[in-house]
């Protein structure tokens, strides 16, 4: 935290209304910091709520793009934080989203349908842009140049994102008068929530206007009971105690090294698992969410690179069966297990298979598939590092102290307990023998067949 002694005696508490009252034409460092913090918590709330909605949105392309946007807003948090910690007041490790920001965003995004979510998303995005534009007009280009520089980083992708979000609000299913009216009413509700939000004082959590009554009885998101996925993806129920990706039912490529590309395409479910963790876990240091958001987006990217390559090679979605991501209960009660299993088993056991696949793709002259695997390998190294660093921290939140080795062994035992045919003694042994464990957990591919 920034040492405040140089600012002792100067006014530190700036009311929300006063933040926008200029000291003449100039903003002081404390004013700047307060406004940046306010923006940062909004960016963070938006990022987490987008992640929560990914699970509730059935359309594959939208899921993937939202994975990217959740990451971009997280990066905006990171850029703002970099400047905030240079200013008086800094940022405590235990600071968290102020309750009125949370309340406003929960109200704006607890919506009855994906369409309503996109209306809220567009509405909030426009409000954020207005705040950045207003702030940029107020910042002194000499005194406050480092703030201007950080804000510019947040603007790089904004038009691309805005255009995409606008396009999602031209709903093909909203042609009926009733649906159009619902959309209008939802937007009016958002306007009312925002006016209460804008009236809040930054410090004493009060507003002159009460929150409007929330009109949604049954919310579709964020975080529904079950993850949703559009019908063109035939479902595959992962069976308990089955070595991953061995069922020939899943894929027409199960006897070929190209199975690796199909495996990538399924990784949107890993992205969804991480989106659940990102949305559900609270009060961790911001650094955790920075790593997690990158990890989450990488998995959606891996799915995109797999799907793109499958399509380039002439395969279609209906030639495969697809797993689905986790729902609300699993996310709420088991996020520590989800995270440690993904990083310590799913990702850690994948390296051998991936290296062999890359070699095989080079041998068969499939350059793009080979390079795809190479990029994935470099992402996966950082993902396992993230798991090693943050997995024990997540357990610590639950009052459990474990080393990353113990956490990995427990994850392996959990997985082994799904295999009824393996004796308890063998389970103990396998949990300590990483290569033997991985051969049971996941399949080898046929590297000799293209
Ligand atoms: Fe991946
Ligand atoms: Fe990964």
Same domain, 61 and 174: yes
Report how far ligand 2's centroid is from the alpha carbon of 12 (Å). 43
pLDDT tier, 23 (very low <50, low <70, confident <90, very high otherwise): low
Residue 332: give its domain's CATH number.
Answer: 1.20.1260.10
pLDDT at residue 19 is higher than 70:
no
Report how far ligand 2's centroid is from the alpha carbon of 381 (Å). 8
**Ligand index nearest the alpha carbon of residue 274:** 2
Same domain, 375 and 436: yes
Same domain, 267 and 161: no
pTM of the model: 0.93
In a domain, 219, yes or no: no
In a domain, 231, yes or no: no
Report how far ligand 2's centroid is from the alpha carbon of 353 (Å). 14
Report how far ligand 2's centroid is from the alpha carbon of 347 (Å). 6
> How far is it, in rounded angstroms, from Cα 214 to Cα 193?
9
Same domain, 143 and 275: no
Residue ending a domain, choose from 179, 199, 219: 199
Task: Assess contact for 258 and 232: CB atoms under 8 A.
Answer: no
Report how far ligand 1's centroid is from the alpha carbon of 324 (Å). 15
To 5 degrees, how large is the angle CA 331–CA 332–CA 338?
40
* Structural domain range at position 18: 5-199
- Cα 424 off chain centre by: 37
Same domain, 162 and 297: no
Q: Which pLDDT value is given to residue 173?
A: 65
Same domain, 195 and 252: no
Same domain, 59 and 156: yes
Q: Which residues surround ligand 1, an ion (CB under 5 A)?
A: 267, 299, 302
- Read off the pLDDT of residues 274-329 as tens digits, 9 standing for 90 and up: 999 999 999 999 999 999 999 999 999 999 999 999 999 999 999 999 998 888 77
In a domain, 304, yes or no: yes
Same domain, 182 and 274: no
In a domain, 327, yes or no: yes
Please state, rounded to an integer, the average pLDDT across all residues of the chain: 91
Total of domains in the chain: 2
Same domain, 162 and 261: no
Same domain, 37 and 140: yes
In a domain, 81, yes or no: yes
In a domain, 20, yes or no: yes
In a domain, 234, yes or no: no
Same domain, 275 and 417: yes
- Read off the pLDDT of residues 31-53 as tens digits, 9 standing for 90 and up: 899 999 999 999 999 999 999 99
Task: Assess contact for 303 and 88: CB atoms under 8 A.
Answer: no
Report how far ligand 2's centroid is from the alpha carbon of 436 (Å). 21
| Number of Cβ within a 10 Å radius of residue 332 | 12
pLDDT at residue 14 is higher than 80:
no
């Amino acid at each position: 935290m920034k040492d405040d002694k140089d600012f002792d005696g100067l006014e530190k508490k700036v009311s929300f209304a006063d933040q926008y009252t200029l000291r003449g034409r100039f903003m002081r460092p404390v004013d700047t910091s307060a406004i940046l913090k306010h923006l940062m918590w909004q960016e963070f709330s938006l990022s987490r709520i987008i992640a929560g909605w990914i699970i509730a949105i059935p359309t594959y392309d939208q899921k993937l793009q939202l994975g990217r946007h959740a990451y971009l807003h997280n990066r905006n948090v990171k850029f703002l934080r970099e400047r905030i910690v240079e200013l008086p007041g800094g940022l405590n490790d235990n600071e968290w989203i102020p309750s009125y920001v949370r309340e406003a965003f929960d109200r704006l995004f607890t919506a009855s349908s994906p369409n309503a979510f996109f209306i809220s998303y567009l509405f909030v995005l426009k409000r954020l842009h207005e705040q950045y534009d207003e702030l940029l007009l107020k910042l002194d280009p000499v005194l406050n140049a480092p703030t201007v520089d950080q804000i510019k980083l947040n603007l790089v992708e904004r038009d691309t994102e805005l255009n995409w979000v606008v396009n999602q609000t031209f709903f093909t299913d909203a042609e009926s008068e009733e649906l159009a009216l619902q959309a209008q009413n939802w937007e009016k509700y958002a306007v009312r929530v925002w006016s209460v939000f804008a009236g809040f004082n930054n410090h004493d959590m009060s507003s002159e206007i009460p929150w409007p009554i929330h009109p949604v009885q049954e919310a579709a998101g964020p975080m529904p009971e079950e993850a949703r996925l559009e019908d063109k993806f035939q479902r595959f129920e992962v069976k308990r105690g089955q070595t991953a990706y061995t069922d020939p039912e899943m894929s027409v490529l199960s006897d070929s090294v190209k199975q690796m590309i199909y495996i990538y395409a399924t990784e949107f479910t890993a992205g969804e698992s991480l989106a659940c963790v990102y949305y559900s876990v609270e009060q961790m240091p911001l650094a955790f969410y920075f790593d997690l958001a990158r990890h989450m987006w990488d998995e959606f990217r891996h799915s995109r690179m797999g799907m793109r390559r499958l399509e380039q090679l002439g395969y279609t979605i209906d030639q495969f069966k697809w797993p689905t991501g986790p729902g609300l209960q699993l996310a709420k009660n088991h996020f520590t297990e989800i995270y440690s299993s993904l990083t310590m088993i799913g990702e850690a056991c994948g390296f051998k298979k991936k290296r062999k696949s890359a070699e095989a793709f080079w041998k068969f002259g499939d350059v793009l598939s080979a390079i795809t695997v190479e990029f994935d390998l470099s992402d996966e190294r950082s993902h396992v590092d993230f798991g090693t660093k943050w997995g024990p921290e997540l357990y610590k939140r639950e009052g459990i102290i474990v080393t990353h080795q113990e956490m990995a062994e427990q994850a392996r035992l959990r997985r082994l307990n799904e295999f009824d045919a393996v004796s308890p003694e063998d389970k103990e042994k396998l949990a300590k023998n990483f290569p033997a464990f991985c051969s049971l957990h996941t399949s080898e591919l046929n590297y000799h067949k293209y």
